Chain A
Amino acid sequence: DTEVTQTPKHLVMGMTNKKSLKCEQHMGHRAMYWYKQKAKKPPELMFVYSYEKLSINESVPSRFSPECPNSSLLNLHLHALQPEDSALYLCASSQVGTSGETQYFGPGTRLLVL
């Protein structure tokens, strides 16, 4: 099973709302990633977790708060977002988070901030 699942598929939220995106994998991978992809642009890395510890934070605003409760789950908590945060949010996983690994992507959550 090489599947990464993400919920919800679509999310519409106001600028004062608090919501969470969820990502799950059951491949035994120990590294998980969040990417942001704006329309007609490539994905941009936001966060990397390796062995449930945050290893990379690409200077993402604090209104995005990642959480890795266990090796299979990765959450992205959203608070006080701006309309420009509207994008496709992609989760990925790989074996341990070192170079040379294939990353497996989920289908994404399409977020619209009003």
Chain B
Amino acid sequence: KQEVTQIPAALSVPEGENLVLNCSFTDSAIYNLQWFRQDPGKGLTSLLLIQSSQREQTSGRLNASLDKSSGRSTLYIAASQPGDSATYLCAMGTSYGKLTFGQGTILTVHP
């Protein structure tokens, strides 16, 4: 069974800190790893997608890395802001576009 685990479950940091969210997965047949953001009661917003052949992707203050051999991905957020507060979900993509999600990390950035 494919499993995706995210650590920590919740994180509270002061504004301006750099932080790292962790994601681990069990399926070596991974096609890609996607990071999403979800605000309370809302849909998901795609942040970054890393193909299995890639090592990392960057978008603005966000950097995501992928290590297939160890089954790990990290999302690095630089200079965090209160507007970054949300739930961050990683999802493992396998064949036919199927995504298996982790439980998410609830991030709170306080002023």
Q: Taking beta carbons and an 8 Å cutoff, which residues of A are in contact with B?
A: 4, 6, 31, 33, 41-45, 48, 50, 55-56, 88, 90, 92, 94, 97-108, 110
Q: Are B49 and A102 in contact (CB under 8 A)?
A: yes
Partner-A contacts on B (CB < 8 A): 31-32, 34, 36, 41-46, 49, 51, 89, 93-104
Which residue from chain B places its CB closest to the CB of A98 in the assembled complex? Answer: B97
**CA of A108 to CA of B93, assembled, Å:** 21
Q: Are A99 and B31 in contact (CB under 8 A)?
A: yes
Q: Is the CB of B34 within 8 A of A102?
A: yes
Q: How far is the CA of A8 from the CA of B85 in the complex (A)?
A: 27
Closest to B51 in A: A100
Find the B residue at minimum CB distance from A2.
Answer: B46
Task: Let me know if A48 and B96 touch, CB within 8 A.
Answer: yes
Q: Can you name 11 A-B pairs with beta carbons within 8 Å?
A: A6-B43, A42-B103, A45-B98, A48-B97, A50-B96, A90-B44, A98-B96, A99-B31, A101-B97, A103-B99, A108-B41
Q: Are B32 and A100 in contact (CB under 8 A)?
A: yes
CA distance A105 to B101 in the complex (A): 14
Which of these, B96, B97, B104, contacts A103 with CB under 8 Å?
B97
Residue numbers in B under 8 Å from A88 (CB-CB): 41
Contacting residues, chain A, for B46 (C-beta < 8 A): 102-105
Q: Within the assembled complex, what's the spacing in Å between the Cα atoms of A110 and B43?
A: 11
Contact A100 B96 (CB under 8 A): no
Question: What separation, in Å, do the CA atoms of A103 and B103 have in the docked complex?
Answer: 18
Cβ–Cβ contact B97 & A105, under 8 A: no
Q: Which residue of A lies closest to B100 (CB)?
A: A45
Q: Are A103 and B101 in contact (CB under 8 A)?
A: no
Determine whether the beta carbon of B43 is less than 8 Å from that of A106.
yes
Distance A56 CA – B42 CA, assembled complex (angstroms):
25
A90–B101 CA distance with the chains assembled, in angstroms: 14
Q: Find the A residue at minimum CB distance from B95.
A: A99
- The CA-CA distance from A99 to B49 in the complex, in Å, is 11
- Taking CB atoms, residues of chain A closer than 8 Å to B95 are 99
* Given pairs A55-B96, A100-B31, A103-B34, 10 additional interface contacts (CB within 8 A): A42-B102, A43-B89, A45-B98, A97-B97, A99-B95, A101-B97, A102-B46, A103-B99, A105-B36, A105-B44
